[in-house]
Amino acid sequence: MRDITYPPVIVTAKTLFKALGMRFQTSGTEHIPREGGAVLAANHIGYVDFVFDGLAAQPSKRLVRFMAKREAFEGPTGRLMRSFHHISVDRDSGEESYNTAVEYLRSGEVVGIFPEATISRSMEIKELKTGAVRMAAEAGVPLIPMVTWGTQLLKTKDHESDIWGRGKTVALHVGPPLQVTGEDPVAETALLHAEMTRLLEKAITEYPISPEGQWWAPARFGGLAPTPEEAARLDAEEKAAKAARRAERENG
C-alpha cells in the first residue's frame, strides 16, 4: 500500500509525546513480524488506544491497519483515517469489513483489532468476539495478543479527559503469536483471552503508579473501577439509551 501521510504523522506524534514528557514501558515488540500478515489483538480501555497501539509495531518497522467503527471515518478525521488505510466497521453489517481485513492480511498487512468491541469500563479484559481468531485462521496468519495500559488516563468513558497526557506513562506489552486453526473459534478465543489477561496483569504490576484506590484500575487490584458485573450493567444501560434515542430520531 502507498503510505504518504501515515509515516510523517507517526514521526510528528513521537515528537509530541517526547515534548509532553510521556514515558513508555514496552515488552515483547519483537513478536510482531517484520514481514507478512498478522492480526494484532489489543484490549480497549480508552478512546485513543489505537494511537498508541501502533507504536508497538514500530521496532519491526510495520504500519498497523486498524479496524475502527464507521463513525471514525466521518467528519474531519475521515480523510486521514482512509489515508492510513484503516478499515471501517459497520457494527450492524460487519461482513464487508471482515472480508476486507482478510484481504489485507493475505496481502501481508498487520491488522489491528479490538476483540472486546467496546471500551472496558472495568479495565479488565471483557468477553471477546471470535472475529480475531476467525480472520487470522482464514488468512493463515499469526494472532498476536497485546495489552495497552495508561491510555485510560487520557480519554475514556465516564471520566474527564486529559488528552495531552503530559508526564503520563503508557505501557505496551505484546505476547507471543498464537497459531490458530479456526476449528474451534470459541476455545481459541478463550486462549487469546487468557493471554491478554496475563499481559494485563503484567502491565498493572509493572506500572509506576500503584492501582490501589485509583479510579482507573480494576477492582480486583484494589482499584475503584466498576467490577465486570457492574460494568456490564452500565454497558447495557448505555446501549438501551442509544437505542431509545435512535428510535426517537427515526420516529420523528
Rounded to an integer, the average pLDDT of 198-205 is: 98
pLDDT for residue 226? 98
> Quick check: 247 pLDDT over 80?
yes
Quick one: DSSP state of residue 30? G
pLDDT band for position 6 (cuts 50, 70, 90)? very high
Rounded to an integer, the average pLDDT of 10-23 is: 97
DSSP-assigned beta bridge partners for residue 178: 143
Q: Give the sheet arrangement for strand 23-27, strand by strand.
A: 23-27, 169-174, 143-149, 38-42, 110-113, 64-69, 87-89
DSSP-assigned beta bridge partners for residue 172: 26, 148
The verdict on pTM exceeding 0.85 is: yes
